[in-house]
Amino acid sequence: MIQTVATTPYADQKPGTSGLRKKVPHFQQPNYVQNFVQAIFDSLEGFAGKTLVIGGDGRYFNREVIQIALKMAAAAGFGRVLVGRGGILSTPAASNVIRKNRAFGGIILSASHNPGGPTEDFGIKYNIGNGGPAPERITEAIYARTKEIDEYRIVDAPDVDLDKLGSFDLEGMKVEVIDPVADYAELMESLFDFDAIAAMFRDGFRMSFDAMSAVTGPYAQAIIETRLGAPVGTVRNATPLPDFGGHHPDPNLVHAKELYDAMMGADAPDFGAASDGDGDRNLIIGKGIFVTPSDSLALLAANAHLAPGYSGGLAGIARSMPTSGAADRVAEKLGVGLYETPTGWKFFGNLLDAGMATICGEESAGTGSNHVREKDGVWAVLLWLNVLAARKEPVKDIVTKHWAEYGRNYYARHDYEGIDSDAANGLVAALREKLKALPGTKVGPLTVAEADDFAYLDPVDGSESKHQGIRILFEGGSRVVFRLSGTGTSGATLRVYIERFEPDPAKHGMETAEALADLIAAAETLAGIRERTGRAEPDVIT
């Protein structure tokens, strides 16, 4: 029985960089979830009788929202929903399930690397039939709809048992509870040389993978321990918990500090890796060396041909604008296109669909390829393993040789979290005001070469995205980028991205903070961060 329920709009359901993200209590307001899910369905056309995929990272509130979404999908007229057992699907696995089953689209429940729990973060995101995040044209339509919504439709039925594999009827719609790992593991096996990686483990290669009590635990165990034969215990914190054990499931040097410390220790394993809440990010650490995500993108692009899935070479490389230019030099050498997009994976979808790019990445620990339409943490780890198995060299040697060949892009991101929104907007507005006057001026020892507010013209569909970050480029190729986060749930987060290119191998041994000192000082001078935000230091440096 379909019920039509009257509702009133919420004014704040605008999807950000990656879907709608709010605190759990915010989502628990009456009809808050229902309004947004109905707005998604109301913004789509032609899905009657088709397949929808639903899954999430298992965080607090995941199961409740899945039941609501299932019942609303049945009322909306979908023919079938594929849902991961226990409501679990990592974001890249969901993308794969959508693609493999030629589904109409998917609903992914996650707040990525943000904490989970009764007062922590939650999120709802819609992905289209190519498996990737909905483009802005759709997220804008969803937002417009949320402002007018006055009713939603839902079937009146008991909850679906999410823990039993199999096919169930929900008021005429088929619900298939699927194994969340199987299809994904099969896809990985088709891309990488599992025999070579397994042989490396047999020869004593040691690895530590921190699943951060988040969604990748079951994926990493099934692939790295079971299929590739790494010793049991290689995957740590492998059970997904609704509150991620009280931690931030964010694979960076702050939140994965234990892994970092172990990798810097005397008895470090050969390779350390971690993934985030929903499994799309990755952290790569070799014995005694952290690999920045920007460098990892460049290194993977330069070595991808060593993996069977990429032996034919790359069509092109795409990176988000704030990501370092390390990948640009690889693209140049390979003679393939390099595409610079705004922040957020949704901008890579068109390039991947058009066959213009094969590998994509962001400085925020996201790397992926055309195998799905999301960034993919476990994929990045497996490609690294494949490269290590093929090259038989330590991570540190591979990285330093890469720098010697291409030059080193010293890089850091400084985040000022939970600052006052007006102060943050004021800071960006003031920078925007003075952009025109900056070229030619000196900031300490640096001279500004160019300054702009990044705008992107999608080469595939011609759509334009403006105001994607303030770029200040200095003579000699260094730069500072300022932008406000689009994923936060309280106040504003200012991100300052700092990069310096150093071609001389004799200067590749510096500490990052030392190498970037002039640029960090210039960022402060240009933006007046301390004065405007009251913060003397960033909260997180990655």
**Least distance between ligand G1P and beta carbon 493 (Å):** 6
| Contact status: 234 vs ligand G1P (CB under 6 A) | no
Q: Which element (helix H / strand E) includes 290?
A: strand 289-291
| Contact status: 139 vs ligand G1P (CB under 6 A) | no
Q: Is the Cβ–Cβ distance between 312 and 342 less than 8 Å?
A: no
Q: How far is the C-alpha of 117 from the C-alpha of 61, rounded, in Å?
A: 8
Minimum CB distance to Zn ion smaller for 278 or for 363: 278
Which pairing describes strands 316-320 and 359-362: parallel, antiparallel, or unpaired?
parallel
Minimum CB distance to ligand G1P smaller for 77 or for 486: 486
Minimum CB distance to Zn ion smaller for 281 or for 471: 281
Q: Which of 477, 486, 491, 528 binds ligand G1P (CB under 6 A)?
A: 486
**Least distance between ligand G1P and beta carbon 288 (Å):** 27
DSSP structure class, residue 279: S
**Least distance between Zn ion and beta carbon 43 (Å):** 23
Minimum CB distance to ligand G1P smaller for 71 or for 248: 248
Q: Which stretch binds ligand G1P (CB under 6 A): 118-126, 287-295, 438-446, 481-489?
A: 481-489
| Contact status: 129 vs ligand G1P (CB under 6 A) | no
| Contact status: 495 vs ligand G1P (CB under 6 A) | yes
Q: Which of 343, 358, 369, 468 binds ligand G1P (CB under 6 A)?
A: 343
Task: Tell me how far CA of residue 388 lies from CA of 201, 294, 297, in angstroms.
Answer: 11, 18, 15
Minimum CB distance to Zn ion smaller for 374 or for 502: 374
Q: Which does 276 bind (CB under 5 to 8 A by kind): ligand G1P, Zn ion, none?
A: Zn ion
Q: How far is the C-alpha of 73 from the C-alpha of 141, rounded, in Å?
A: 18
Catalytic residue among 95, 110, 112, 296: 112
Which pairing describes strands 80-88 and 207-210: parallel, antiparallel, or unpaired?
unpaired
DSSP, collapsed to helix, strand or coil, labels residue 337 as strand
Largest CA distance in the chain: 73
Annotated catalytic residue 167: no
Q: Which does 295 bind (CB under 5 to 8 A by kind): Zn ion, ligand G1P, none?
A: none
Helices 395-406 & 377-391 angle (0-180, nearest 10): 90
Other Cβ atoms less than 10 A from the Cβ of 136: the count is 18
Q: Is the Cβ–Cβ distance between 398 and 391 less than 8 Å?
A: yes
Binding to ligand G1P (CB under 6 A): which residues in 247-276? none
- Geometric angle at alpha carbon 140, from 146 and 357, rounded to 5°: 140
| Contact status: 278 vs ligand G1P (CB under 6 A) | no
Task: Give me the residues that bind Zn ion (CB under 5 A), please.
Answer: 112, 276, 278, 280-281
**Least distance between ligand G1P and beta carbon 345 (Å):** 5
**Least distance between Zn ion and beta carbon 378 (Å):** 12
Minimum CB distance to ligand G1P smaller for 133 or for 286: 133
**Least distance between Zn ion and beta carbon 290 (Å):** 19
Q: Which does 465 bind (CB under 5 to 8 A by kind): ligand G1P, Zn ion, none?
A: none
One DSSP character per residue, 67-132 reads HHHHHHHHHHT-SEEEEEEEEE--HHHHHHHHHHTT-SEEEEE--TTS--STTSEEEEEEEETTSS
Q: How far is the C-alpha of 317 from the C-alpha of 370, rounded, in Å?
A: 11
Q: Which does 115 bind (CB under 5 to 8 A by kind): Zn ion, ligand G1P, none?
A: none
Nearest to 400 by CA among 392, 388, 408: 408
One DSSP character per residue, 451-506 reads EEE--EE-TTT--EE----EEEEETTS-EEEEEE-SS-SSSEEEEEEEEEEE--GG
**Least distance between ligand G1P and beta carbon 123 (Å):** 10
Q: Is the Cβ–Cβ distance between 110 and 123 less than 8 Å?
A: yes
Q: Which does 345 bind (CB under 5 to 8 A by kind): ligand G1P, Zn ion, none?
A: ligand G1P
429 CB contacts (<8 Å, ≥6 apart)? none
Q: Which of 116, 272, 344, 349 binds ligand G1P (CB under 6 A)?
A: 344
Binding to ligand G1P (CB under 6 A): which residues in 76-105? none
Nearest to 211 by CA among 224, 230, 198: 224
Q: Which of 13, 90, 96, 112 binds ligand G1P (CB under 6 A)?
A: 112
Q: How far is the C-alpha of 405 from the C-alpha of 6, rounded, in Å?
A: 63
Binding to ligand G1P (CB under 6 A): which residues in 300-329? 320
Q: Which does 344 bind (CB under 5 to 8 A by kind): ligand G1P, Zn ion, none?
A: ligand G1P
Nearest to 289 by CA among 183, 395, 171: 395
- Geometric angle at alpha carbon 309, from 308 and 314, rounded to 5°: 110
- List 367's β-bridge partners, or say none: 361
| Contact status: 487 vs ligand G1P (CB under 6 A) | yes
**Least distance between Zn ion and beta carbon 108 (Å):** 10
Q: Which does 278 bind (CB under 5 to 8 A by kind): ligand G1P, Zn ion, none?
A: Zn ion
Please list the active-site residues: 112
Which residues would be at the binding site for ligand G1P (CB under 6 A)? Answer: 17-18, 112, 320, 343-345, 362, 364, 366, 485-487, 495
